[in-house]
Chains A and B, each alone.
Chain A
């Protein structure tokens, strides 16, 4: 499978715990995006990497959220001290270059109880 893969697909965690999600983009893609989506809403931009550089980060992203893409390949998104409001689908997408299609993974559904 050469598409974007995300792991895990589902995560249930207790409030206050830390969680980390992984995204493996399509191998030749240098752009990688993270989004959050809740029911009835479009994907909300979180952050964007070009290769290993994090070029853009949403103002909506609190300091509990951090993302890395250490070697310009896979990326991780960590949420510290999770809150119930963090419950959502976390989507990763990758793309070849600006102006081109972004391909999405199937997402990680986070439930904070």
Chain B
């Protein structure tokens, strides 16, 4: 089982749509969780951290379910500028502080 698994893409949605991405992780000792965004031919950049209580940033909502080892990202009212690849990231913490990335899910928002 891969350490971080994401929904296979691509997701092609019209502007204004709501889209949800899911991610599962295998290491129950994982301590921190993130969603990164990567534009074509650019480096990944942090979109938002994910907290157990769930967190929202404008049109973006992230949730974490530790019991199910599951992370989600919801994008409401999609914009053309949301088109990118969304990467689920898990931080094992402590001395195993490497960040493990999922393969990413590509989103294309169409007019």
Contact = CB atoms under 8 A, between A and B. Distances in A.
B23 to A, nearest CB: 11
A31 B102 contact: no
Nearest to A41: B103
B103 A31 contact: no
Contact of A48 (B31, B49, B98, B101): B98
Interface residues of B, number: 24
Chain B interface, >50% SS class: loop
Chain A interface, >50% SS class: strand
Nearest to B6: A42
A105 interface: yes
Interface residues of A, number: 24
Given A41-B103, A101-B34, A31 B43 contact: no
B54 interface: no
A65 interface: no
